[in-house]
Chain A
Amino acid sequence: MSDFLTVSVLLATLASGIRLATPFLLAALGETIGQRSGVLNLGVEGVMLLGAYGAYYATLRTDSILFGILVSLIVGGVMGIVYGVVTLALKAEQGISGIGIFIFGLGLSDLLFQKQVGTPTPIDGLGDVAVPLLGDLPWVGEVIFHQNVLVYVAFLLVPVLWFVINRTPFGLNVRAVGETPEAADSLGVSVDRTRYITIFVGNAMAGLAGGALALELGIFQQNLTNGHGFIAIALVYFGAWRPSGVMAGAMVFGLVSATVLQWKTLGIVVGTTASIVGMFPAVLTILVLVLVSRRTGQPSALTRPFERGH
């Protein structure tokens, strides 16, 4: 334990916490925008798995990480269109169809991996980019400004998303559609069009989140995400449907993951105790959900399919 409590190790853990928070953050921000428009997407985990596999496979074959990232975005976007059709055109129950997407992603990513790759082959992950000037700051520079591109993208998306939701006409439409779709519809806002856009963007971000995870770990395996997507959904509740709150939650989970990883590397947890720390994120998620259960501000129309004349 004393190994862990040194400045250099703690700084490294903080830096890795920010890195590990990125997949949570990307997926949770995507889920936030979907939920603000009244659509609950429980398929995030499945979309993340597909995005992770897409990014992994593309990078493995082309050696181009950028192409891998692009593929994960496209995979997520395609899944967004599928989920949009299922929930908006077919008006399927959102809870269960999301679970269908999850099972589909779990099976398909494993299937493609076994068929196309077979033996786990590591890929080069994303390299760190130091921000000029800021990267030279003592401690802070090392922790915050020596990260990979996706980390910067994810954290920059927090203010961007806040601005889009709260300060643009489109954001107003999203919120209106999420609260009272009937009123929005009567004023000429297309409920379905707005929701198609948020679902598309949200799923593309979930795909990217999976890609970020695969590129961070440099590997793919069955059920790589192991609950990341579901935790991301919990983070939306934790963050009370606000990007900044979601970011705080993602940081908590990133730091917990980083600490667990660091403890394993340092040999503080070995053998069966590894299983106990492996439970941390799941237990923490349940505790978080209990703590925020009295939270208000859930979009009123969440999970409610919109149908004219009802």
Chain B
Amino acid sequence: MLVVLGANPLTGYAALLDGAFGGAKNLANSALKAMPLLLVGVGITIAFRAGVINIGGEGQIIAGAILSTLFVLGFPDVPRFVLLPLTFLVGALGGAIWGGMAGVLKSYARVNEILSTIMLNIIAVQILNLLLRGPLMDPGEIEKGSRIPHTERLSGNADLPILPGGTRLHLGVLIAVLMAVACYFLLFRTTQGLRLRAVGHNPFASRYAGMSVKRNVVLAFMYSGAMCGMAGVTLVFGSEGHRLATDGGATTFTGAAGFNGIVAALFGGLHPLWTIPASFLFGALLVGANAMQRAVQVPAALILALNGLVVVFVVGSMYARARLARAASESSDQDGESDSRSPVRSADPEPRNPP
């Protein structure tokens, strides 16, 4: 691909590898880039496991970021050890509300969740632009007349503490890993998790067993959104400027984490724990791509394009793998009836044509 773009592939990939893994500083940057991907990826995993496709990561990140920013602007003087956990909670709430809307629309109005989450993304971006160009704009910017769309520097009490070690690593990275483990327990070690997975696996049987498919679809979206909302918190309060900002483009401050997180989740086999290394890999890829951009002038958008291909091929290979598995189980004369072609199925709360 690099050759097609007229760059020296060896120099390019060397720069990519060095930029991503060379030295503690670069490794830390990779981990920082991986942090939002992991939170989003875990959220996406919950949704996909419950049979709903959440493409609304971007909007839910923004919703979490906005609500937590408003909260910190309102209570800047609360001591750090109280303010920080509350900020995460508020951010999670923001994401959960935004995701929950898609869940309610799907459960109670039969609106396709892929379309509704994309539309909610667009709405969230506009709300963000509205706030940052209006009421939330840094008073200093207005005074100077430069009118850069970002908030004032948020209260230092809400800064994510830098971890010891001399790098830029901060607490957000640990929280992301912790949430991945927590979601593993939620999905695989609790009744609620079993319900979510049951609804995703077979909505008809779940309903027959007395579960509310509609309620669980909404819940899945809320959990999923909460994770993305927390990603928004880490992106705002772990940023170098410690403020909510936008570049005016389509992906604002998120760096397309809402989309790249989907890729990390799929690459991690829709398992919260496997999503940890998967998102580190993609975080490293993003950091490395920036280094590559500097070395051989290939735009970092390359990674987004590659990620799209990864999605297509991961999903495409599911069938081939299931076929191989089926062939293997049939040849060993076992019951090959378990059709687990894809963990993702569409949970239709009101099925018209039960199979």
Spell out A's residues near B (CB within 8 Å).
Answer: 42, 46, 82, 86, 90-93, 95-97, 99-108, 110-111, 114-115, 222-223, 226-227, 230, 233-234, 237, 271-272, 275-276, 278-279, 281-283, 285-286, 289-290, 293-294, 296, 298, 300, 303, 305
Contact = CB atoms under 8 A, between A and B. Distances in A.
Given A111-B299, A223-B249, A103 B311 contact: yes
B303 interface: yes
B309 interface: yes
A117 to B, nearest CB: 11
Q: Which of A110, A282, A285, A298 has the largest count of B CB atoms less than 10 A from its CB?
A: A282
Contact of A226 (B5, B122, B317, B319): B122
27 contacts: A90-B320, A92-B312, A92-B315, A92-B318, A92-B319, A93-B318, A95-B344, A97-B311, A100-B312, A103-B262, A103-B308, A103-B311, A104-B309, A107-B302, A114-B301, A222-B250, A223-B249, A230-B119, A234-B115, A278-B129, A279-B123, A281-B122, A282-B119, A289-B105, A289-B115, A290-B105, A290-B109
A200 B346 CA distance: 25
Contacts of A305: 319
A92 B346 contact: no
Contact of B112 (A82, A227, A276, A289): A289
Main secondary structure of the interface of B (DSSP, over half): helix
- Category for how many chain B residues contact A: 35 or more
A227 to B, nearest CB: 5
Interface in B298-348: 298-299, 301-312, 315-320, 341-342, 344, 346
B308 A46 contact: yes
A53 B268 CA distance: 32
B119 A278 contact: no
Contact of A93 (B110, B116, B315, B320): B315
A230 B115 contact: yes
9 smallest CB-CB distances across A and B, nearest first, come from A104-B308, A107-B304, A100-B311, A107-B305, A103-B308, A100-B312, A275-B130, A223-B250, A111-B301
Interface of B: 5, 53, 55, 105, 109-112, 114-116, 118-120, 122-123, 126-127, 129-130, 133-134, 249-251, 259, 262-263, 266, 297-299, 301-312, 315-320, 341-342, 344, 346, 352-353
A275 B111 contact: no
Given A92-B319, A99-B262, A272-B134, A303 B346 contact: yes
A145 to B, nearest CB: 33
Given A107-B301, A234-B115, A285-B115, A227 B311 contact: no
Contacts of A82: 312
A300 B353 contact: yes
Contacts of B133: 271-272, 275
Contact of A105 (B5, B126, B308): B308
B319 A107 contact: no
B314 to A, nearest CB: 8
B278 to A, nearest CB: 15
A73 to B, nearest CB: 21
B206 to A, nearest CB: 20
